[in-house]
């Protein structure tokens, strides 16, 4: 029988403050879920869904974590009042999450009960970063908690003193908060969720090479606004090299060349090649930096960025990065990541690059999201002399974790992308006008959802992958895939669409098992919510006038 006792708002506030030594807010102003959100609620520690025991509609039925099934008894509606305090209603039973017997004791079971608006049914949903939330009782000041940090189906859910452990952290994968995958978000999502760049630091505007290079040095937080095109070209140098295009072919009289490095010219005739010296010497970027173009027509020519030696918390947005010794391999890369973390590369236009448009390795590239970029392979050269760039993306960082979302990859002829090591989540990317090999996967786990592949000339969206490393549903395999997606990601999968008729879209259970056993990988994938494949072609790729 339920007690009729109540607790005053003043006493509730005192309890709340006393029980939060780790800095959670003493009001609900930090709640960030949109009002009316309907979503599964997923325990970060176990990957299981919050549900009602026995799918019961009765008052007093206990809450527990369960294997995710998509049932309405595992879906919850969040309703916020004017102060952002939440009630959380089960969509199957229509009843609300409730502190049993209005107890303020740690370890008390949580249940469902008819929605009353009482403080024992009122919660603070507080963002904790990486798309994760604490759910705190207004009545008791205690956190929604999986008892004993258990991971078994049917483990009970209680209230307990906040510790910040994963069994007290929850995700709402169907919410439309900043951790979802959208083409217009100003907030990093996916593996880069929580990246802030230079936020809070000095804001400087640069328009010359020296100003830019000085501004990006060091680890002091800084927002660097690039005004117009900064051109590093003009200082020419000469080195030995050779022709590298397929069968020495030419396109409009031009051949792809390569500098004589690492034995690539062995057995080939060498000769002097004159090129811009800036290209092979990229700019070193320090930690805690945001580099952002002003308007849709700002950027850099002739030189790229280098993130290395443990730098972290970097945003590169709304820039064109172009004309780095086009047609000359080893002539320069657009963006290189070698032992760096918390990186958001968003809404850039990258074209006419000598070697890689994006490269990671050999050091790690962790907590990195590459989103809304336009990788344009159109060139006067091309390895196969077909005006399509070969060296698109080489992602080989040790134990890397990368979200590759909402990008346009056009007129490539290889490495689109090539991946080795770690985990890469490819979501809602648009491939058009491509030739030859697309994805090449070696010792990496790859999850592909919602990607759109237009028909290309002799184009294979998946050219080669190691067995057991790819999870890529099509419409024909979506039913099979969804059981894994609900269990691991807490939502349905989104199928890929391929106009080339390829059948290499594997669905390996090894991939989802690996994701489920790695908490940071699981959180990174859950922090991206794919949209329908049909919408991908309408995205706004590359720099935009309204990004600032």
Catalytic positions: 415
Buried b (16+ CB within 10 A) or exposed e, 281-295: ebbebbbbbbbbbbe
The span from the CA of 353 to the CA of 331, in Å, is 8
Q: What is the dihedral of CA 416, 407, 443, 449, to 10 degrees?
A: -120
Q: Which two tokens stand for residue 278?
A: 């800036």
SS (H, E, C) 310-363: EEEEEEEECCEEEEECCCEECCCCCEEEEEEEEEEEECCEEEEECCCCEEECCC
Q: What's the angle, vertex CA 376, arms to CA 180 and CA 192, rounded to 5?
A: 25
End-to-end CA distance of the chain: 57
Residues 336 and 322: beta-carbon distance below 8 Å: no
Residues 452 and 497: beta-carbon distance below 8 Å: yes
Give me the residues paired with residue 77 across strands: 38, 89
Longest dimension (CA), the chain: 91
Residues 293 and 299: beta-carbon distance below 8 Å: yes
For 301, counting Cβ atoms within 10 Å of its Cβ (0-12 exposed, 13-18 middle, 19+ buried), the class is middle
Q: Look up residue 48 and give its DSSP letter.
A: P
Q: Measured on CA atoms in the order 40, 45, 48, 54, is the torsion positive or negative?
A: negative
Residues 383 and 256: beta-carbon distance below 8 Å: yes
Q: What's the angle, vertex CA 405, arms to CA 403 and CA 407, rounded to 5?
A: 135
The span from the CA of 76 to the CA of 90, in Å, is 5
Q: How many helices (H) and strands (E) does the chain have?
A: 5, 42
Give me the residues paired with residue 448 across strands: 426
Q: Which two tokens stand for residue 130?
A: 């990486």
């Amino acid at each position: 029988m339920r007690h009729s006792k109540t607790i005053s708002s003043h006493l509730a506030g005192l309890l709340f403050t006393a029980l939060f030594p780790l800095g959670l807010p003493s009001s609900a102003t930090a709640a960030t879920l949109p009002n009316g959100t309907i979503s599964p609620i997923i325990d970060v520690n176990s990957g299981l869904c919050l549900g009602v025991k026995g799918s019961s509609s009765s008052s007093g039925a206990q809450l527990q974590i369960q294997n995710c099934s998509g049932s309405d008894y595992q879906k919850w509606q969040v309703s916020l009042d004017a102060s952002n305090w939440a009630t959380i209603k089960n969509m199957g039973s229509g009843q609300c999450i409730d502190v049993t017997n209005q107890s303020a004791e740690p370890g008390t079971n949580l249940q469902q009960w008819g929605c009353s608006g009482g403080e024992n049914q009122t919660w603070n949903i507080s963002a904790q970063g990486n798309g994760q939330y604490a759910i705190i009782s207004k009545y008791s000041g205690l956190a929604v908690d999986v008892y004993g940090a258990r991971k078994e189906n049917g483990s009970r859910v209680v209230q307990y003193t906040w510790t910040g452990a994963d069994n007290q952290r929850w995700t709402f994968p169907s919410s439309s908060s900043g951790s979802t995958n959208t083409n217009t978000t100003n907030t990093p999502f996916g593996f880069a969720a929580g990246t802030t760049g230079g936020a809070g630091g000095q804001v400087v505007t640069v328009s010359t090479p020296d100003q830019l290079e000085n501004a990006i040095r060091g680890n002091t937080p800084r927002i660097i606004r690039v005004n117009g095109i900064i051109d590093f070209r003009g200082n020419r140098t000469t080195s030995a090299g050779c022709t590298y295009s397929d069968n020495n072919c030419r396109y409009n009289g031009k051949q792809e060349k390569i500098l004589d490095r690492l034995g690539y010219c062995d057995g080939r005739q060498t000769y002097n090649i004159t090129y811009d010296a800036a290209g092979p010497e990229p700019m070193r970027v320090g930690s805690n930096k945001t580099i952002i173009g002003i308007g849709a027509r700002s950027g850099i020519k002739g030189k790229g960025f280098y993130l290395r030696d443990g730098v972290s918390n970097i945003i590169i947005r709304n820039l064109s990065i172009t004309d780095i010794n086009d047609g000359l391999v080893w002539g320069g890369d657009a963006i290189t990541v070698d032992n760096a973390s918390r990186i958001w590369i968003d809404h850039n236009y990258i074209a006419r690059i000598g070697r890689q448009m994006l490269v990671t390795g050999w050091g790690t590239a962790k907590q990195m999201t590459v989103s809304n970029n336009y990788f344009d392979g159109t060139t006067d050269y091309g390895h196969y002399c077909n005006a399509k760039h070969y060296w698109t993306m080489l992602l080989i960082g040790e134990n890397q974790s990368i979200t590759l979302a909402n990008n346009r990859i056009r007129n490539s002829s290889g490495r689109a992308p090539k991946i080795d090591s770690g985990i890469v989540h490819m979501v809602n990317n648009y491939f058009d006008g491509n030739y030859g090999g697309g994805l090449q996967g070696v010792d990496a786990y790859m999850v592909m959802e919602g990607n759109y592949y237009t028909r290309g000339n002799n184009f294979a969206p998946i050219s080669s992958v190691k067995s057991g490393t790819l999870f890529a549903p099509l419409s024909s395999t979506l039913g099979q895939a969804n059981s894994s997606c609900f269990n691991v990601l807490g939502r349905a999968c989104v199928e890929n669409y391929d106009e080339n008729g390829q059948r290499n879209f594997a669905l390996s259970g090894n991939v989802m098992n690996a994701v489920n056993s790695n908490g940071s990988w699981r959180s990174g994938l859950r922090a991206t919510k794919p949209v329908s494949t049909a919408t991908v072609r309408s995205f706004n790729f590359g720099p935009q006038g309204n990004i600032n």
